[in-house]
């Protein structure tokens, strides 16, 4: 079959501010197995430009596909754009099959299928095997009832089949790198880059996390084969930066060490960046030199908050002393730390935000990334937020960079003020400026300057947007009325082949 994979342009700041674009790994991951099954597959990447919607639609239609597949790493906030493009494609090409996958449709399949008649099928959970079976069913002209892990419109309305099993051997499916021209994709300030996954999932239990349940259980690729793939991308495709999409790549000290050693043995000049947990860094104090030797330049640490009660509420399992120690250890080994910090909890007061900023300062991270609380329906945290008032009803703005929920003690402009003040103080303090402009390590100096340069563009953009563009609705609906009933019972998107983790078949 002729299949076109589509990455739609996302309006979020994360897409628009950097001049760099990363390859859409989710789409490439399903592209590889489809090519291996003999299908004619191509990718249309609307992030470049960004492509105006009519041009994007013309490009897709011009390729005369049998199936058009959508998915986006902005997921929830990318959904309205996908819905628009998919509708226009289906209006122009009657009979084309539209398939949709990724985190958001995995859980919102009922609403998508009910409200968007052009969507033929939704792939729920990880896509590699399910999409192959789905396309085979299309080819056979048969029903989809027997394809595990999909949702479609049955005679009685939207229905889902049994959850697909998790993929045990992640090396069994290859990424369709041939779908992209590597020269067009960059990160870290213009360096040729890819996104990859060593592992999927996370064994921790943070209540607000939408990713842990999506992958259902933690698994990793073969450390040596994975290192070889990165080395090949460097030697044959000139890739310099490897951005890890993993939620938590360091869960197994043994597997992680095996990967680092295998990559060091490849002797390739790569820059590695990604996220992990502070406790893993502290655990690996004796092997951090291997991280550095392998090329690790920055870890994003999800600190989320310094307030013990809030950490308890979100079941982060983090401890301020461990977070602080992780940052210290990373600095000692020449690895940058980026701390994420979440604002917008319901009971937050000026005093909390003042104390939080002071504590954050005492942690002394190299970089920070502030985010707003954004509840996803399939997380346990959603229940706690279900009766809060939604002040941002434009779903494209549910991207963590816009305040979407009212807080009890503060108007949104004051929350924004704290948000921006914290960024300015943390990034603009003399120590941070000295590291940014005078860091003795040339590579880290480049990285810090690149981030600071983006920050200088994002900072006023977000303030101007708040006052002149974004519309906030003081009398918006509750979260429950806006998105629907909690869905945490369906949080695990696949069946894990383990009795204690098996997922109930979702109601049709």
| Tokens found for residue 144 | 């989809």
Task: CB nearer to ligand SF4: give 223 or 302.
Answer: 302
Task: CB nearer to ligand B12: give 29 or 436.
Answer: 29
Nearest to 191 by CA among 242, 260, 244, 246: 242
Q: At what angle do helices 412-428 and 430-438 cross, to 10 degrees?
A: 50
Residue 145 CA to chain centroid, in angstroms?
30
* Closest distance of CB 74 from ligand B12, Å: 3
Task: Out of 39, 41, 77, 151, point to the residue binding ligand B12 (CB under 6 A).
Answer: 77
- Neighbouring CB atoms inside 10 A of 413's CB total 11
For the segment 300-329, give every residue that binds ligand SF4 (CB under 6 A).
302
Task: CB nearer to ligand SF4: give 14 or 80.
Answer: 14
Whether residue 214 contacts residue 106, with contact meaning beta carbons closer than 8 Å, is answered with yes
211 binds ligand SF4 (CB under 6 A): yes
Phi, psi of 15 (to 5 degrees): -95, -35
Alpha-carbon distance values, 456 to 119, 123, 418, 422, 463 (Å): 40, 39, 17, 14, 12
**Residues in a beta bridge with 298:** 273, 336
Nearest to 342 by CA among 280, 435, 404, 433: 404
DSSP 63: T
Task: CB nearer to ligand B12: give 41 or 330.
Answer: 41
| Tokens found for residue 384 | 């706690």
* Closest distance of CB 348 from ligand B12, Å: 21
Task: CB nearer to ligand SF4: give 41 or 245.
Answer: 245
Q: Which stretch binds ligand SF4 (CB under 6 A): 59-67, 192-200, 201-209, 257-265?
A: 201-209
For the segment 356-415, give every residue that binds ligand B12 (CB under 6 A).
376, 399-401
247 binds ligand SF4 (CB under 6 A): yes
15 binds, among ligand B12, ligand SF4, none (CB under 5 to 8 A by kind): ligand B12
Alpha-carbon distance values, 10 to 108, 346, 367, 406 (Å): 19, 28, 24, 25
| Tokens found for residue 117 | 């008649």
C-alpha count within 13 angstroms, C-beta hemisphere, residue 126: 27
Task: CB nearer to ligand SF4: give 240 or 377.
Answer: 377
Asked if omega into 50 is within 30° of 0 (cis), the reply is yes
Q: Which stretch binds ligand SF4 (CB under 6 A): 121-129, 149-157, 199-207, 414-422?
A: 199-207
Mark residues 298-317: x for contact with ligand B12 by CB under 6 A, - for none: --------------------
Task: Out of 12, 186, 276, 415, point to the residue binding ligand B12 (CB under 6 A).
Answer: 12
- Neighbouring CB atoms inside 10 A of 154's CB total 15
Task: CB nearer to ligand B12: give 104 or 291.
Answer: 104
| Tokens found for residue 263 | 């990559």
338 binds ligand SF4 (CB under 6 A): no
For the segment 84-143, give every residue that binds ligand B12 (CB under 6 A).
99-104, 123, 126-128, 131
Residues in touch with ligand B12 (CB under 6 A) = 10, 12-15, 22-27, 29-30, 47, 69-71, 73-77, 99-104, 123, 126-128, 131, 195, 197, 210-211, 245, 247, 376, 399-401
Residues in touch with ligand SF4 (CB under 6 A) = 202, 204, 206, 209, 211-212, 247-248, 277, 302
């Amino acid at each position: 079959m002729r299949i076109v994979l589509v990455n739609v342009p996302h309006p979020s700041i994360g897409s628009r501010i950097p001049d760099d674009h990363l390859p859409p790994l989710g789409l490439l991951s399903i592209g590889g197995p489809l090519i291996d099954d003999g299908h004619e597959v191509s990718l249309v990447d609307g992030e470049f430009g960004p492509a105006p919607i009519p041009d994007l639609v013309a490009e897709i239609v011009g390729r005369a596909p049998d199936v058009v597949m959508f998915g986006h790493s902005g997921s929830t906030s990318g959904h309205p754009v996908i819905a628009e493009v998919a509708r226009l494609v289906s209006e122009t090409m009657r009979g084309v099959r539209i398939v949709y996958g990724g985190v958001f449709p995995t859980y919102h399949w009922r609403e998508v299928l009910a409200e968007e008649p052009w969507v033929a099928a939704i792939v729920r959970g990880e896509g590699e095997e399910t999409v192959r079976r789905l396309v085979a069913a299309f080819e056979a002209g048969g029903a989809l009832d027997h394809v595990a892990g999909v949702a479609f419109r049955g005679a009685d309305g939207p229905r889902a089949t049994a959850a697909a099993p998790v993929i045990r051997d992640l090396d069994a499916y290859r990424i369709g790198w041939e779908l992209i021209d590597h020269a067009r994709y960059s990160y870290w300030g213009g360096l040729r880059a890819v996104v990859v996954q060593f592992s999927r999932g996370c064994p921790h239990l943070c209540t607000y996390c939408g990713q842990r349940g999506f992958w259902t259980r933690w698994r990793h690729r073969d450390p040596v084969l994975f290192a070889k793939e990165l080395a090949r991308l460097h030697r044959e495709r000139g890739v310099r930066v490897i951005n890890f999409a993993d939620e938590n790549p360091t869960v197994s000290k043994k597997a992680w060490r095996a990967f680092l050693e295998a990559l060091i043995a490849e002797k390739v000049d790569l820059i590695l960046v990604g996220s992990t947990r502070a406790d893993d860094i502290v655990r690996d104090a004796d092997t951090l030199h291997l991280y550095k030797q392998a090329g690790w330049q920055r870890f994003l640490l999800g600190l989320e908050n310094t307030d013990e009660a809030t950490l308890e509420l979100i079941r982060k399992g983090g401890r301020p002393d461990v977070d602080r120690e992780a940052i210290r250890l990373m600095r000692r080994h020449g690895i940058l730390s980026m701390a994420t910090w979440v604002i917008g909890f319901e009971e937050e007061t000026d005093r909390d935000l003042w104390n939080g900023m002071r504590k954050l300062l005492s942690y002394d991270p190299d970089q920070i990334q502030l985010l707003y609380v954004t509840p996803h329906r399939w997380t346990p945290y959603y229940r706690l937020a279900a009766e809060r008032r939604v002040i941002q009803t434009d779903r494209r703005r549910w991207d963590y960079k816009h305040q979407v929920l009212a807080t009890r003690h503060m108007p949104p402009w004051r929350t924004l003020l704290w948000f921006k003040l914290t960024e300015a103080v943390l990034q603009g303090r003399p120590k941070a400026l000295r590291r940014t402009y005078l860091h003795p390590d040339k590579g880290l100096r480049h990285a810090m300057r690149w981030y600071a340069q983006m920050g200088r563009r994002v900072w006023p953009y977000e303030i101007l947007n708040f006052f002149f563009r974004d519309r906030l609705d003081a009398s918006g609906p509750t979260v429950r009325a806006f998105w629907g009933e909690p869905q945490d019972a369906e949080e695990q998107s696949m069946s894990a082949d383990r009795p204690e983790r098996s997922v109930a078949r979702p109601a049709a």
